[in-house]
Amino acid sequence: MPKDLQASAFPAKRAADFSPVLRVASSRLDVQFKAMYLTERIINHSVYGTMPPDQLDTTFAALADPTRRAILARLASGEASVNELAQPFAMSLPAVSKHLKVLERAGLISRGREAQWRPCRLEAGPLKEVSDWVENYRRFWDDSFDRLGDYLHELQTREKPDGPSN
């Protein structure tokens, strides 16, 4: 490597090395950054590190992928083997197996064993929990749309002229 491109040719200098004002500002920023970083690490660890994900989070995470939703739709019509589930997808059997493991961990499917055939079947329990959770919001939106409909009806009746216009 040419001497002018070697690391020793470019001494590493921070902005704080050039001015006492910049040095003070830099040290304050370093302290503030360290405090923010440590606070974030403590909060993230205490919130995300100790709280296990609940069933609803796990179910929604499993449902987030379109391939897994398609697998569940297929299993709604009955049991199927991994090979049968893999047929409509342009992916390897190990990739389909990974999707099945995610669904199994979420409790959305179960795998049995009958000789060498390992059928997968849909387990609807977690979907009921999702349905119950969504139901609260459906009621909220139904009520909101009803109020909006009443308001629009009120506006239309206010704007109607008293008689025929000519």
Q: How many CB atoms lie within 10 A of CB 26?
A: 15
Half-sphere exposure of 76 (CA within 13 A, CB side): 8
The Cα–Cα gap between 130 and 9 comes to 63
Residue in this structure with the two tokens 């090979």, named with its chain if needed? 83
Q: What is the pLDDT of residue 40?
A: 65
Give 51 or 23, the one with higher predicted confidence.
23
CB within 8 Å of 88: residues ≥ 6 apart: 70, 74
pLDDT 10s digits, 11-48:
445 444 545 544 555 555 566 666 666 666 666 554 44
The phi, psi pair for 97, rounded to 5°, reads -60, -35
Beta carbons within 10 angstroms of residue 70's beta carbon: 14
**pLDDT, tens digit (0-9, with 9 covering 90-100), for 133-163:** 888 888 889 988 999 999 999 999 888 766 5
Q: Please identify which residue in the block is written with the tokens 């979420």.
A: 106
Q: Give the C-alpha separation, 165 to 18, whole Å.
A: 82
Taking the domain 55-123, which CATH number applies?
1.10.10.10
pTM of the full structure: 0.57
Query: In whole angstroms, what is the distance from residue 100 CA to residue 108 CA?
Result: 9
Cα 87 to Cα 71, 92, 93, 151, distances in angstroms:
11, 10, 9, 52
Q: Locate tokens 């995300």: which residue?
A: 48
Domain boundary assignment for the chain: 1-51, 55-123
- Taking the chain, what is the end-to-end CA distance rounded to the nearest angstrom? 92
